[in-house]
Amino acid sequence: MKRTLAVFLALVLTLSLFTAVASAEGDTIKIGVFEPITGSYAGGGAMELEGFQLANELYPEVLGKKIELVVSDSKSDKVEASMAAQSLVDKGVVAVLGSYSSGLCLAGADVFASAQIPALAATATNPMLTMDNDWYARICFIDPFQGTMLARYAVDAGYKNVAIIQEIESEYAVGLVNYFEQELATHEGFTVTSKGNFVNTDQDFTTLLTDAMSKNPDVIFTSVGYAPSAALIIKQARELGFTGPIFGGDTLDAPELFQIAGDKVDGVIFTTFYDAAQPATELTSQFLDAYRAKYGKEPSATNVMCFDAYLTLRAAIETAGSTDSAAIRDAIFATKGFVGAAGTITLDENHNAVRPVVFKKVKGDGTSEFVKMIEP
Amino acid sequence: MGVFLQQLANALCVGSLYALLAIGYTMVYGVLRLINFAHGEIFMMAMYIVFYGISLFYLPWYAGFLLTIIITAMLGVLSERLAYRPLRDAPRISVLISAIGVSYFLQNLATVVFGGRPLTFPQVALFTDVVDIGGVKIQQLGILVPLIAAVLLVLLMFLIKKTRTGLAMRAVARNYDAARLMGIDLNRTIAITFFIGSAMASVGAIMWGLKYPQISPTVGSMPGIKCFIAAVLGGIGNTTGAVLGGLMLGFVEIMLVATFPQLSGYRDAFAFVLLIVVLLVKPTGLLGEKATEKV
């Protein structure tokens, strides 16, 4: 009895090794979706996936074949991310969309480059991604621009003393702070009073905040990899009695900000890619109607950027006229004046998009309103 | 001075949370010589049960909390029955591996059933309102958590030292086989140990959720490891030691980050360094007894 059980279990375990089934060749074009579906950034990955899936539903075909989205979970971990990237390559995808979080993109970037598969990021803003990589492109702006704009905003508002709280293991968060500080240093009289570090599993920021507040900053700048960290910082800062303004970068544009911090988000400012108040394109209303119909809620900037990323990739495949990876890559890099739902996309010589940054302000009920838009 | 008091209040709160969790670890170790790595996941499940109890069934918070404590305690007993009891007579390492298995199982079960996206723990005004005491702003739970932890500890001490069940638990911890020979119902005693340990963990989870409202399937892994460190620090097997260890760990963590803010990214590393130091200098922990091997 025990022996049969042992043999049976051994068989089951061996069979489970063969679950990586070779995919059927045929009339589908496979596009990889490289996102964190589980782990600390799961919410960000989910937002991106929503955008891709919606676009796939509305525009399911290219070159006469169906587009199949193959999702690979990076589990919000850099080691898992490179394995997830490899699994996409093994599944024979012609191109990749994603990821949320520049750090995770970077983890997969080398894999895609060696396999010579083009990858398109929708919201990853760290410049390192496209610097030495001939296969990654993005349809959003990069952090030197975002960080500089944030610094100029602080200068214009007269915030002389800035306390910074950054997520130390996020390349994006640290990079953004870097560019912010570089710009701030060029203005007389503006200083960074303290810089607190945390990791994305941290939930207790009271020690950091107490220390930051003891130096009497005019404003707190939170640079986080994912909104819940910022929400906790905002919540705990207000509970500790900090009444000054708080601002952050594009990762604050997520529903979790209000869900976790509640009405304490009132007055928080962040930069982002898109706002409904911006001049809309013909696709914007199509996207908004489809999104609201499918998900029953208002879309965030990440959703619409991913929608556009999918469309940009699809247009590139169409231009390339084939599923040859190099041809698709060249077509992506040559994107000029492509009209998406969030605006017009033109890639520069570094395969980054040249786009305006939008400043938004959150209200106590969780909705955010447009403040201003700055062109590069 | 105000800043120092603020950090101190915070340290006391965090320390009490660690203490509540460490008790469960230490009790199970005392009785079964098993380091229950799944304890952090019991903690995580408690948070999800509260979340769904309150958001899905619209229970008032006190009913939701009470129900969660009972359900979580039963979950702990169930895990013992399914994963540890069949391995009673197996070498200790098998039970350890089984505990790790339960831990991964529960984490992935939670990911599949509840989804990977973080959820927000329900906020209860009684605990989350902020009071101002002499310039120090703390949430009311900063006072309530140490209080609740202290009350629970006193009750637990009473249970262990003055009741027959406690006597049975101490006997099983002292000498497993002799306890069986003396007619103590091993299954019942171990089940009660897991019940109490998991109930403590769920109280800790509720307090934790009120303080740090973000729930995700992996929310229990770091607190679980830290409370294991707390239990070892205080002498694993010793309940008072676990509380002491928890408080110490909380204080060290918060005060070190408060004194050296530039090292705040290494916050979790402090706990592990502390563990290594304790194991090198005094492996039996602060209140642990020297384990004498009878030849």
Q: Is the pLDDT of residue A23 over 60?
A: no
A45 neighbourhood in chain B, CB within 8 Å: 116
What average pLDDT score do residues A30-42 get? 89
Q: Is the pLDDT of residue A217 over 80?
A: yes
Q: What pLDDT score does A24 carry? A: 42
Does any CB of chain B come closer than 8 Å to the CB of residue A307?
Answer: no
Q: What pLDDT score does B294 carry? A: 54
User: Taking CA atoms, what residue in B is nearest to A258?
Assistant: B120
Among partner residues A196, A201, A214, which is closest to B264 by beta-carbon distance? A196
A259 neighbourhood in chain B, CB within 8 Å: 120
Contact assignment for B118 to A39 by CB distance below 8 Å: no
A239 neighbourhood in chain B, CB within 8 Å: 130, 137, 139
% of chain B beyond a pLDDT of 90: 30
pTM over 0.95: no
Task: Give the gap in angstroms from C-alpha A294 to the nearest C-alpha of chain B.
Answer: 19
Per-residue model confidence as pLDDT tens digits over A240-272: 889 999 999 999 998 888 888 888 899 899 999
A258 neighbourhood in chain B, CB within 8 Å: none
Contact assignment for B222 to A201 by CB distance below 8 Å: yes
Q: What pLDDT score does A2 carry? A: 82
Supply the CATH classification number for the domain A28-141+281-345. Answer: 3.40.50.2300
Q: Which of A197, A204, A206 to mutate to test the interface with B (most CBs of B within 10 A)?
A: A206
Contact assignment for A204 to B7 by CB distance below 8 Å: no
B259 neighbourhood in chain A, CB within 8 Å: none
Supply the CATH classification number for the domain A144-272+358-374. Answer: 3.40.50.2300
Q: Domain map of chain A by residue range? A: 28-141+281-345, 144-272+358-374
Among partner residues B211, B222, B261, which is closest to A211 by beta-carbon distance? B261
Q: What pLDDT score does B143 carry? A: 84
Instruction: Please indicate whether the domains covering A28-141+281-345 and A144-272+358-374 agree at the CATH topology level.
Output: yes
- B contact residues 113-172, partner A, Cβ 8 Å cutoff: 115-118, 120, 123, 130, 132, 137, 139
Q: Domain map of chain B by residue range? A: 2-225
Among partner residues B214, B222, B258, which is closest to A232 by beta-carbon distance? B214
Does any CB of chain A come closer than 8 Å to the CB of residue B222?
Answer: yes
Per-residue model confidence as pLDDT tens digits over A188-206: 899 999 999 998 878 888 8
Q: Does the interface predicted TM-score (ipTM) exceed 0.85? A: no
Contact assignment for B267 to A256 by CB distance below 8 Å: no
B145 neighbourhood in chain A, CB within 8 Å: none
* DSSP labels, chain B: -HHHHHHHHHHHHHHHHHHHHHHHHHHHHHHHS---TTHHHHHHHHHHHHHHHHHHS---HHHHHHHHHHHHHHHHHHHIIIIIGGGTTS-HHHHHHHHHHHHHHHHHHHHHHH-SS-EEPPP-HHHH-EEEETTEEEETHHHHHHHHHHHHHHHHHHHHHHSHHHHHHHHHHH-HHHHHHTT--HHHHHHHHHHHHHHHHHHHHHHHHHHS-EE-TTTTHHHHHHHHHHHHHH-TT-HHHHHHHHHHHHHHHHHHHHH-GGGGGGHHHHHHHHHHHHHHH-TT-SSPPP-PPP-
Does any CB of chain A come closer than 8 Å to the CB of residue B259?
Answer: no
Contact assignment for B267 to A259 by CB distance below 8 Å: no
B264 neighbourhood in chain A, CB within 8 Å: 196-198, 207-208
Q: What pLDDT score does B199 carry? A: 93
Weakest mean pLDDT among A176-180, A311-315, B14-18, B122-126:
B122-126
